[in-house]
Structure 1
Amino acid sequence: MTGARMIATLGGIGLLRPAPGTWGAAAALPLAWALHLLGGPWLLIAVTGIAALAGVRAIPRAVGPGEDPDRPEFVIDELAGQWIALWPVSLGAWGTGADVLALWPGIVAAFVLFRLFDIAKPGPVDRADRRKDAVGVMLDDVIAGLFAAVGVVILAAIGHGVMLL
């Protein structure tokens, strides 16, 4: 397996079946936890950007000329999107001094919301997905991750009594 393919498939995680995108998002969770422990939300945010750029570079190198770059086994985009969805959890743990794992409802919400937005592809997520290039492959999951992050913040506000419906 080439280096580009290793990056695009997250070391082969994208080859797991069924639902390789879900496997990729699930693999992002312990990695995000480790990054949070090592450097807090700032390291997680920085490495998310590096992962997104690595995906944009690796995906075109992992496919042949003229081939569709949006392959199910390419899950580097799920990694980046899932990490974005986890930013509010990491920031919340850091800001309060809490153990990030104590915020497990936020982690679960981030995972579920990210997968929901990634699969349903509402509005801008779908527009990015239709690009059919490496930027589009990454961008649809980045946007889904941002949507999920907003959802996590809203659910946290409701859960902590900050927002009343």
Structure 2
Amino acid sequence: MNFATIIATVGGVGYMRPAPGTWGSLVALPMAALLHIIGGPWLLLIAIIAAFFEGLWATTQVTRWEDDHDPAHVVIDEVVGQWIALLPLSFGAWHAGASIFALWPGWIAAFVLFRLFDILKPGPIGWADRRHTPSGVMLDDVIAGAFAAICVALLAALAHGVMGS
């Protein structure tokens, strides 16, 4: 396995079946928790940016001679998108001085919402996916992650009474 394939498949996670995208999203959870514990939301944000560009490079390399623009084994895009979906939780825990694990309902919401947006591909998510380019592979999950992050933040606001009474 070459370096680009290791990055694109997140160390081979992309070869897990069934549903390699879901496995990619699942492996992103403990990685995000570790990043948050080590350096808070700022380290997670830096990791998102770095992984996006590494993923763009790796996806370009892995799909260069392939007919399939978005092979199932490429899951670095799911990791980036899932991390984006978790970003409001990381900032919320940091702001409140709470354990990232205390926000466990948000983790479930972030995972489920990201997977739904990634699978259903509404609006701009589908547009990015239809680009059939390495940037489209990465961007559809970035947008799905952003949609999920917005929903997570709204659900947290509802759950904590910010929008109530």
TM-score, scaled to structure 1: 0.97
Give the C-alpha shift of residue 87 in structure 1: 0.3
Aligned residue number for residue 101 of structure 2: 101
- Correspondence 1:86-165 to 2 at 5 A: 86-164=86-164
Contact 1:48 1:83 survives alignment (8 Å): yes
- The share of aligned pairs that are identical, in percent, is 58
Give the C-alpha shift of residue 64 in structure 1: 4.1
Distance across 1 between alignment mates of 2:34 and 2:64: 34
Task: Compute the RMSD of aligned alpha carbons.
Answer: 1.1
Contact 1:20 1:75 survives alignment (8 Å): yes
Give the C-alpha shift of residue 67 in structure 1: 2.5
Give the C-alpha shift of residue 65 in structure 1: 2.3
Aligned residue number for residue 11 of structure 1: 11
Aligned residue number for residue 20 of structure 2: 20
Contact 1:24 1:79 survives alignment (8 Å): yes
Structure 2 gap ranges (5+): none
Distance across 2 between alignment mates of 1:64 and 1:159: 46
Give the C-alpha shift of residue 41 in structure 1: 0.1
Aligned residue number for residue 43 of structure 1: 43
Structure 1 gap ranges (5+): none
Aligned residue number for residue 81 of structure 2: 81
Contact 1:60 1:69 survives alignment (8 Å): no
Contact 2:4 2:61 survives alignment (8 Å): yes
What letter matches 1:22 in structure 2?
T
Aligned residue number for residue 60 of structure 1: 60
Give the C-alpha shift of residue 30 in structure 1: 0.2
TM-score, scaled to structure 2: 0.97
1:47-79 deviations in Å (ceiling 9; x for gaps): 001001011101121134253230011000000
Contact 2:63 2:70 survives alignment (8 Å): no
Contact 1:63 1:69 survives alignment (8 Å): yes
Give the C-alpha shift of residue 161 in structure 1: 1.2
What letter matches 1:158 in structure 2?
L
Distance across 2 between alignment mates of 1:19 and 1:159: 31
Distance across 1 between alignment mates of 2:23 and 2:87: 19
